[in-house]
Structure 1
Amino acid sequence: MNKELGIVELINGPVVKGSNMASFKVNEMVTVGEMQLIGEVVSLEGDVATVQVYEETEGLRAGEKIYSTGSPLSLNLGPGMLGNMFDGIQRPLKKIEEISKIFIPEGIGLLSIDEDKEWETTIGVQVGDVLTQGEIYATVQETQSILHKVMVPPGIEGEVIRVVPNGSYKVKDTIVVLKTPAGQEVTLTLMQKWPVRRPRPIAKRIPIYKPLITGQRVIDTFFPVAKGGTVGLPGGFGTGKTVTQHQLAKWSDADIIVYIGCGERGNEMTNVLEEFPALIDPRTNRPLMERTILIANTSNMPVAAREASIYTGITMAEYFRDMGYDVAIMADSTSRWAEALREISGRLEEMPAEEGYPAYLPSRLAQFYERAGCVKTLNEEEASVTIIGAVSPPGGDFSEPVTENTKRFVSAFLALDKKLAYARHYPAINYLTSYSAYVTMLSDWYKQNVALDMMDLRGKMVRLLQEEEKLNEIVQLVGEDVLPNDQALVLETARIIKKAFLQQNALHKEDTYVSLEKQHKMLQVIDALYENALTCVKIGIPLSTIRKENVFEEVIKMKYDVPNDHIELLDDLIEKIVHTYEELRQKYQ
């Protein structure tokens, strides 16, 4: 530590001003006062520095000392992160609970991953090997689901001059010693440090080309999400943001899930912390926590730590991405993070912009979402980070600054609708105001891996829903009875699309997750129903007669009645539809 000490002059909530700090650096991590509260230097003016403190400042007095650590706010990245629950600055909540049962005590220090636990380590290099940044020199089976690959930290390379045998080691034990081209010796452990505000380096970005398969029909078919993509999930209170994110965390085909509960209500975060450890991973039949990291920052935790939690989560995600894994990060919710920015900005006496948010809100959101992407890592593996950011606009108003700015930086926008939620239509994703720019990017993948007509069927269903919206305006004025039969059939088909396809029951065994093959077959069933009914309408058969055939009800129930492993039953349903309407046409001809 530097001998130079700052002196606390002013305390304003989490913002502390200190004098005698000319030798400190911006973004440097410091400890404040006798309690050694953790903070970060956010601005310097002469020898006066402004520090944002990540803990409660109650009891802190003017005249106490500010100590330098000489490094920026950084995370310890190594085995022990998966299955763990952290606060916004990577302090493990289970460990803290052993120290203090009720609240996180001030001055507890920078606890991190467990430094005393021993990990069974397999060494993958030998003396004489030349290692470059990002290369894997050891592996640890961190959980049964995930192999932790220990990499050479960015910016380091050299020849291996010493290496330990396979065995059990703690995260700080020396595993490999390198001799750099400059002749210096560098020790490599199972752990590396990385500053949270700096993106981790990659070899190059590659174009997005494959979807993040979620098993949720409205997402996979109508508004697909890509691996390495960015998603905004806005919705007012009670529209199902958290449940939607839980479904994505459980069912999406990402290798690692990072869930950030940022400024959410305490009871909601408690539910997450209790439910996640109980969830079973459908891919491995093991606990889902084996490939999940939880970051919990409730609304009563210090506001500055809430601001940092987003960066903590994305840095952890990038670390696992560098190993070659596909990572999905759920931020719930970026609105609370923006409110933390606004509060700190107000205390720093910065000029407010729209609705009191700081003028740099758009650039901070952009910095966060830009850390997503499909990449070639430093060790030439293909990997991705997908960001799904929930937004909680006050009163469900999508024109407020956080939602508007999020819309600028994300490529998929899944707008949760209050009316749909109140009508018990879940997921309450509005099929008219939502959009995904990944439809065109992923169309080749869908043609090659699902079916040639998958995106054409999707386009047809979207057009029927849009046509229904226009017809509804006429119906509200003059009633449904005056519509010609072909237009009334559009209304009936749109009702079936909504009930049979877009509505999905997260608690039903067959409906909670649906394979892409079944989704495609369900679209074919609805299309067959519409086309066959339309041929009947064209020869003058009344819609009431067409509707009497019980195939309409069978189509609505197919999501429950047809198991995922027996989708051939949907072919039988298509045959039944064709046969039923063929008989009906013969009767009328």
Structure 2
Amino acid sequence: MNTGIITQISGPLVFAKGFENASIQNICRVGEQGLIGEIIEMHDDIVSIQVYEETSGLAPGQPVRDTGQALSVELGPGLLSQMFDGIQRPLDKYLEVTDSNYIVRGAEISPLDHDKVWNFKPTVEVGQSVIAGDIIGTVQETAYFEHRILVPYQVEGTIKEIKSGDYTLDDVVAIVADGEGNERELKMSQHWPVKQGRPFKSKTTPKTPLRTGQRVIDAFFPIAKGGTAAIPGPFGAGKTVVQNQIAKFADVDVVVYVGCGERGNEMTEVINSFPELEDPATGGSLMDRTVVIANTSNMPVAAREASIYTGITIAEYFRDMGYSVSIMADSTSRWAEALREMSGRLEEMPGDEGYPAYLGSRLADYYERAGYVQTLGSDDREGSVSAIGAVSPAGGDTSEPVTQNTLRVVKVYWGLDSSLSQQRHFPAINWLSSYSLYSGDIEEYYDNHLGIDWGKMIRHSKVLLQEEDRLQDIVQLVGADSLSETDRVTLVVAGMIRRDFLQQNAYHPVDEATSEEKMVKMLDTILTFEEEAREAMKLGSYYDELVEGTEDLRYRIARMKEIPEDQLDEIDQLKARIPEEMKNVIQEGGAQ
């Protein structure tokens, strides 16, 4: 274990000498208080250490101790429902132990509760062969979640002893002996370095839709389980609300929410609201399947940089159990700003707008750890991590480096539009600029599972919206009267798609989330209206007659979003009435 002394201090960056045998990414204890820091650069025996706590009070000459270990997280029962800071310090436990609303510097508290007793149920027997990734037992962590205890990486052999009953995380629950007679004691928890991705057998192309309950996403710009998505947008456009909605309604088993450098009030809203939200899948609290990493803008900037890695490592751990996990990062812009600050203090050559030249590769390293994988183990277990990152470009300028480097690596772009948010159209995802590279595979999935040509419906809807955008330019120049009657019908139908389908109220008990079945019925009803309206015009109806004669019908179509999921036959009945009401329009027009 190396020991050196501080030579220079520059904000969260500390320089120390006397470290001939240290290694990059080793954790150090800095100063008299033993502040936590990580070695990020070495020159001979001089190291640069980014300190994850406030460095005021440090002075040259104070000691620095190299622990010889990388920054790691503790993984095991007790992770769910917890709130940690960027380096996995449990915030509730800090408040209890230190009796302070602020993180006390240098305090050492275990991330998980080692005094709590868990009921361990073995799933293997003595004499059974196991390899890394095999499930040796389970713990009922919450009322609805089964925590699976895995054989650690690079451990394999024969089960020599396995226990059943109530144990703490420090108790040995199994012993594995390898072919040479060496024994390895297994406990219910393990550690893993956060900057090293957890291994797996293979990674496959994500093709199964991650259903979020948000129609504009699930229909127009879907994300697959194991996919990656970015939500760029200016302040107030609804990034946090979109992520909260996805966290609540996405069909995943575990949610990891990383509040990275955002304002404290936004993180407070998450912390206060998630325990009160009912999990639609189980009926319990949403926090029962959620892990929150909170590292707000007033917390140490270096820990902000680590929070992303802490979150993705925890997500990979649940993925290895065979679960589907989503990780929300709000926002990667603040994480990139932390990189920029540390790079500047190291006097590295800056890239665009002062960000480090390696910004793109760091973003790629993070998003690359998402994916749909076959996990380690002797079974054919599969799991996924879906990474969704908010980006907060200054002034909504998506040409800045963080947004552009993010778009190079993610497959889905949900571009938030300030003009839509000002019109109170939420989610404010711009349907003209957004895209999803998973659309082809997911449309094929829906075509096969729903028995309809879903891809054709979506493509036609997008064409209508694009045509509407073109026609609106003409309307603003010479007025709506200059348009042909068929073009005016296009504007009516496109408006129905925008208002009655894409717009969604996150605070309405019914409209806050939409099932796959209801989403299909809603869009099918609107397109049926268009088909019948155009047929009526071919038979001689005029635009004015059509608009006047279908006013009540269009009102009822607009209220589809408020029809509960157990009453979807009302949408079927509404669709069935469209041809009849169009006949009435034609007949009344002929009589006149």
What TM-score, normalized by structure 1, do the two folds share?
A: 0.98
Letter in 1 for 2:116: K
Q: Give me the whole-angstrom Cα distance separating, in 2, the residues matched to 1:369 and 1:465.
A: 31
2:211 aligned with 1:209: no
Which among 228, 249, 269 is matched to residue 271 of structure 1? Answer: 269
**Distance in structure 1 (CA, Å) of the matches to 2:126 and 2:399:** 60
Task: Tell me which of 545, 554, 559 is aligned to 1:557.
Answer: 559
Partner of 1:103: 102
Aligned residue in 1 for 2:38: 40
- 2:308 equivalent in structure 1: 310
Q: Find the aligned partners of 2:200 and 2:319 in 1 and give their Cα distance.
A: 10
Q: Is the 8 A contact 2:545 2:589 kept in 1?
A: no
CA RMSD of aligned residues (A): 1.1
Cα distance in 1 for partners of 2:256, 2:546 equals 50
Tell me the equivalent position of 2:521. 521
SS in 2 for 1:428: coil
After TM superposition, list the pairs within 5 Å mapping 1:381-420 onto structure 2. 381-420=381-420
Letter of the 1:442 partner, please give it: I
Secondary structure of residue in 1 paired with 2:567: coil
Contact 1:37–1:109 (CA under 8 A) maintained in structure 2? no
Aligned-residue offset at 1:162: 2.6
Amino acid at match of 2:479: G
CA offset digits 1:506-554 (Å, max 9, x no partner): 1112211111111111111111111111122234422111011221222
Question: In the aligned structure 1, how far is the partner of 2:503 from the partner of 2:100?
Answer: 42
For residues 144-543 of structure 1, the aligned pairs below 5 Å read 144-164=143-163, 166-379=164-377, 380-543=380-543
1:187 to partner: Cα distance: 1.1
- Secondary structure of the residue that 2:408 maps to in structure 1? helix
Deviation by residue 1:266-291 (Cα, 9 ceiling, x = unmatched): 11111111111111101111111110
Cα offset for 1:110?
5.2
Equivalences, count: 585
Q: Could you tell which deviates more after superposition, 551-560 or 231-240?
A: 551-560
Question: Structure 2 vs 1, CA of residues 182 and 45 (structure 1 numbering), >3 Å: closer, same or farther?
Answer: farther
Q: Which runs of 5+ in 1 are unaligned?
A: none
1:331 partner letter = A
Alpha-carbon distance between aligned partners in 1 of 2:480 and 2:113, rounded to the nearest angstrom: 66
Deviations 1:160-211 (A, max 9, x none): 22333x1111112111122223432211100111000000000101221210
Partner deviation per Cα, 1:222-241 (whole Å, 9 max, x = no partner): 11110000000111000111
- Is the CA contact 1:39–1:53 (under 8 Å) kept in the aligned structure 2? yes
Distance 1:477 1:126 in 2: 78
Counterparts of 2:110 and 2:12 in 1: how far apart (Å)? 20
Query: Quick check: 2:545–2:585 contact (8 Å CA) kept in 1?
Result: no
**What is the match of residue 116 of structure 2?**
117
Taking the aligned partners of 1:137 and 1:557, their CA distance within structure 2 comes to 52
Contact 1:38 1:109 (8 Å CA) reproduced: no
SS at 1:565 equivalent: helix
SS in 2 for 1:523: helix
Once the two structures are TM-superposed, the CA of residue 557 in structure 1 deviates from its matched residue by 1.7
For residue 325 of structure 1, what is the amino acid of its counterpart?
Answer: Y
Q: Aligned AA for 2:326? A: A
Counterpart CA distance in 2 for 1:187 and 1:224 is 45
Aligned to 2:578: 577
Shift of 1:486: 0.2
Give how far 1:426 is off: 0.5
**For 2:565, what is the secondary structure of its paired residue?**
coil
Residue 191 of structure 2 aligns to a residue whose secondary structure is strand
Instruction: State the secondary structure of the residue aligned to 2:80.
Output: coil
d(CA) in 2 for partners of 1:523 and 1:246? 25
Any idea what SS the aligned residue of 2:261 has?
strand
Instruction: Quote how far apart the aligned CAs of 1:588 are.
Output: 4.1
Take 2:300 and 2:32, find their aligned partners in 1: how far apart are those partners?
Answer: 19
1:349 Cα deviation after fit: 0.9
- Partner Cα distance (1:563, 1:168) in 2: 44
Separation of aligned partners in 2, 1:125 and 1:516: 39
| Preserved CA contact (<8 Å) 1:209 1:441 | yes
In 2, Cα distance between equivalents of 1:233 and 1:320 = 24
CA distance in 2, matches of 1:136, 1:23: 38
Corresponding residue to 1:92 among 90, 95, 98: 90
Q: Of the candidates 47, 55, 61, which is equivalent to residue 59 of structure 2?
A: 61
**Structure 2: unaligned runs, 5 residues or longer:** none
- Report the 3-state secondary structure (helix = DSSP H, G, I; strand = E; otherwise coil) of the residue aligned with 2:386: strand
Letter in 1 for 2:455: M
Contact 1:231 1:387 in 2 (8 A): yes
Q: Distance in 2 between matches of 1:252 and 1:436?
A: 17
Local SS of the residue matching 2:566: coil
Cα deviations by residue, 1:433-476 (Å, 9 ceiling, x for unpaired) = 00011110112210122342222111111000001111111111
CA positional deviation for 1:555: 1.3
Residue of 31, 50, 53 corresponding to 1:52: 50
- What is the TM-score when the length of structure 2 is the normalising length? 0.97
1:24 aligns with 2:22: yes
Which whole-Å CA distance do the structure 1 matches of 2:538 and 2:469 have between them? 23
Secondary structure of the residue that 2:24 maps to in structure 1? coil
The question of whether the paired residues in 2 share the 8 Å contact of 1:450 and 1:520 is answered with no
The answer to whether the Cα contact below 8 Å between 1:333 and 1:391 also exists between their aligned partners in 2 is yes
Identity of aligned residues (%): 49
* SS of equivalent residue, structure 2 residue 293: strand
SS across alignment from 1:264 = coil
Tell me the SS of whatever aligns to 2:222: coil
SS at match of 1:221: helix
Please give the alpha-carbon distance, in whole angstroms, between the structure 2 residues aligned to 1:43 and 1:311: 18
Taking the aligned partners of 1:588 and 1:44, their CA distance within structure 2 comes to 84
